[in-house]
Amino acid sequence: MSSTAAPSRLTLRSFWHDLPREGKLLLSVVVFEFIGTGLVLPFNIVYLHEVRGFALSDAGLLLALPPLIGFLVVGPGGAAIDRWGARRILIGALSLQVAGNVVLAFASTPAIAAMALLLTGLAFGVSWPGFQAFIATVIPSELRQRYFGVNFTLLNLGIGIGGLVAGAFVRIDHLPTFQAIYLGDAASYLPAIFLMTVPLRHVAGRVEHHDETAAKVGYLEVLRRPAVASTIVVGFVSSYVGYSQLNAGMPAYARAVGEVSTRGLGFAFAANTLVIVLLQLVVLRRIEGRRRTRVIAVMAAIWAVSWLLLGATGTVSGTWAATMLVAASASVFAFGETLLQPTVPALVNDLAPDHLRGRYNAASSASFQLAQIIAPPIAGFLIGHHLDSVYIGTLVLGCVLLAVLAVVRLEPQLPAHVNGVREAELVADPDVVPEPTPKTRASALE
């Protein structure tokens, strides 16, 4: 589904008015679901190590299970989405999340914790491509970029609220407080399960395949398509210099090099969330109708500034200025996030044909997850061996590479509507890749 028609000018009221009923229902549970995520996200290592008493090395290995399992199952998960429909797969994934968190709440041994995290890892691997495919089924192309942006705002709002509630509630010396937040996380998935099984039971069922060849298209055939391969490479690089570093490299660098306190780190991540909540709608207005590849390039430049700010903490280690620089780095990074989150998911789903939507989203998800597996050990090695300048330099160079890949490599391969260009811009700019004819569109997608 695609359109070059411009939707109404973006305000929250106009966005809500333009959304189909199914989109409104999906957005209505986002904050609640991610409040649950926010309850436990800052405290997983604390719970396993300090509350349950597992060795720190064991806790680290346990927390590596979900992304690893997720990466292993994302390929079969994408094929399952295309075969049985996103809704059925999501019901299974959400149910696994509920079960995993309930088991984790009562995990008195590392083996039980491993079982719980195995369940959440299975869910993790299929839920991201499942939700992306589901959203693309119910949200028309011209609204997807807006939808993904608003969804990201609500997601961060929920995580922020959950983190604040859990921070005020949990006590290291009182196990039931930690059990309560994991049970709360389990309960946060129940509204989404209800939506999938009752109001939205008619949506995103099994995809109709018009011929057997289309139904059996594999990942290698998908990746041989130039625009897809380039999109996957852009996704991998953006994940490596982006979220993989925010979640692992930035805290490690801030602690080891900047000597920033844990409270200072909490302040930095709170600033990150606040920037996203405040700026996402403004950014959505500014990027509407612009080439998505150019938006990615601007994001790469912003992230390069973020990493330079982080690198500057080493010049004022152990001071209040170092804390402020880390907070500034996280805030600037958040500005880049507001450009990324509406853009890449919309690009992937505008590129994907309906019968391969699960595989396209799974391939995109795998590229992000692979970077998250690779990046933390590299960051740990460089920071642990006092190669601080090398670490920051590689991230800045990675951002430059990302911008070049987006504009020089990916942009010429994208049809105009996939790159976010509207009909008016097509007439004004002869360099935009033209829309394919029905014949060439069919040959590209089948």
CA distance 15 to 37: 26
Each domain of the chain, given as residue ranges in start order, spans 21-205, 219-422
Question: If you ran DSSP here, which 8-state letter would residue 210 be given?
Answer: S
Q: Which fold has domain 219-422?
A: Growth Hormone; Chain: A; (1.20.1250)
* Residue appearing with tokens 């880049």: 336
Cβ contact 182:105 at 8 Å = yes
Helix ranges (H only) for 19-140 are 21-28, 30-40, 44-46, 56-84, 86-105, 110-138
Cβ contact 149:97 at 8 Å = no
pLDDT digits (tens, 9 = 90+) for 291-317: 999 999 999 999 999 999 999 999 999
* pLDDT confidence of residue 322: 94
3-state helix, strand, coil in the chain (%, to 5): 80, 0, 20
The per-residue DSSP string of 113-158 comes to: HHHHHHHHHHHHHHHHHHHHHHHHHHS-HHHHHHHHHHHHHHHHHH
Question: If you ran DSSP here, which 8-state letter would residue 315 be given?
Answer: G
Residue 15 tokens read as 């966005």
Q: CATH assignment of 21-205?
A: 1.20.1250.20
Q: To 5 degrees, how large is the angle CA 161–CA 109–CA 53? A: 65
Residue 442: is its pLDDT beyond 80? no
Count of Cβ atoms closer than 10 Å to residue 446 Cβ: 13
CA distance 262 to 251: 9
Query: Collapsing DSSP states into helix, strand and coil, what is residue 3?
Result: coil
Residue 6 tokens read as 């411009």
* Residue appearing with tokens 């330079």: 308
Mean pLDDT of 26-42: 90
CA distance 419 to 234: 14
Question: If you ran DSSP here, which 8-state letter would residue 317 be given?
Answer: T
CA distance 36 to 94: 13
Across all residues in the chain, what is the average pLDDT? 86
Mean pLDDT of 421-431: 55
The per-residue DSSP string of 412-426 comes to: GGS-TTTTT--HHHH
Domains 21-205 and 219-422 share a fold: yes
Is 171 or 435 the better-scoring residue by pLDDT? Answer: 171
pLDDT digits (tens, 9 = 90+) for 230-245: 999 999 999 999 988 8
Q: Is the pTM of this model over 0.85?
A: no
Cβ contact 139:23 at 8 Å = yes
* pLDDT confidence of residue 1: 39
